[in-house]
Homo-oligomer: A and B are copies of this chain.
Amino acid sequence: MQQANVRVDGKRLWASLMELAQIGATPKGGVCRLALSELDGEARRLFVRWCDEAGCTVAVDAIGNIFARRVGRQPDVPPVLFGSHLDSQPTGGKFDGAYGVMAALEVVRTLNDLDLITEAPLEIVAWTNEEGSRFQPVMMGSAVYVGAHDLAATLAARDRDGISVGEALARIGFAGNAGLFARPARAYFEPHIEQGPVLEETGNIIGVVTGALGLRWFDVEAIGQDSHAGATPLRLRRDALLAAAEVAVELDRIAQAHQPNGRATVGAINAWPNSRNVIAGRVVFTVDLRHADEPALDAIEGAFRAACAAIGAARRVTFNITEVSAYPVTHFNASAVAAVRAGAQALGLPHMDIVSGAGHDAVNMAGHAPAAMIFVPCAGGISHNELESAEPAHLEAGCNVLLQAVLATANA
């Protein structure tokens, strides 16, 4: 049998995705399955049962990441790892994360159907708490796995009800073995819906993900002077909302100068006193800056800070800028990316190179093993939303690309 002839079972993949989506299903057709909740535990148990049934050996590490190992002909070489996460946003969809894990399972089931044993072992992984909705930080499981975050500190993080990660892991029975951390892997592949509109808009089915945008998050406070909207002439105003609006417009100009990969977003804004006839004396807003190149990201941040300084001076408004977090630009491993691209080419699927705008566990893994991702379209680019939707044929195509990339890597 030639590698190019093997195909996954798209109907089985879809059926598993739909069965999994029942756990935490919302009335609007989405999923609410917060990390380490009872529902997350239920989804984990279903996944573990399916892995058992597929002949895998399941292990759980000390942050709750689940590894389902399928033997290879060479039992002692590092495995090819692939998967994603099972947790969701509070009003999440059926595919974000779940697709990567179910696609990984489908690859193993297909190899079982074909009695095909790879040279290197394979491991499906379901990372703990990618979303960061209940416990911070995001991408928790992969970060602890690769040593980017400290285990003890992470286990002590608490949700709004005061429950710690460690307590929640114990409650659902997924506190495992720290000795599993940071094992070598031949490669890591993560299939995922794009969560953006580019594949759909360009008519591509497969996104060959070459890396991820670097990210810098800021909180910005604008301090002016609240005063009467009628009684205060323009020249005597210190309008924090107007100054914030001017920064938002200027940020768009800055990002437009760094296309196609520059992004600048003011997503949240709150004004005080937030009254229709009072000039706002205080406004707090968020700034999200991204780019595929670190020097360009530096330039964007510099222009943003300069804009605040200039607008603040002109409007007599003080800007206080606080960096909230930052992720460097990620460049995925060239060989792993090539394996994904070759898979799409071999299958004759319309594909394009794409840079992930969102963070993923693959970003953490990229520093630890040759990593790459496979994107498939989602309707309208909508994600983190109960309306998240994807075509069965596209999900099947992405799974077939994963199968090709895994076989090529595991048998190399």
Measured CB to CB, the residues of A under 8 A from B are 194-198, 201, 213, 215, 217, 225-236, 239, 241-242, 244-246, 248-249, 252, 255-256, 259-260, 262-263, 265-271, 274-280, 286, 288, 290, 324, 356-359, 380-385
Contacts and interface: CB of A to CB of B under 8 A. Distances in A.
Report, nearest first, the 6 A-B pairs whose CB atoms are least far apart.
A196-B231, A230-B357, A245-B245, A276-B286, A245-B248, A231-B357
A202 to B, nearest CB: 10
Given A198-B236, A383-B228, A267 B274 contact: yes
18 contacts: A196-B228, A197-B227, A198-B231, A198-B233, A217-B277, A230-B290, A230-B358, A231-B381, A233-B357, A234-B255, A245-B245, A267-B271, A267-B277, A267-B278, A267-B280, A268-B271, A269-B269, A276-B324
A142 to B, nearest CB: 17
Contacts of A249: 242, 245-246, 249
Given A227-B381, A236-B201, A267 B263 contact: no
A268 B274 contact: yes
Contacts of A252: 234, 239, 242
Give the interface centre of A252, A267, A278, A324 by most chain B CB atoms within 10 Å: A267
B267 A275 contact: yes
Nearest to A280: B267
Nearest to A231: B196
B231 A358 contact: yes
Contact of A269 (B226, B274, B382): B274
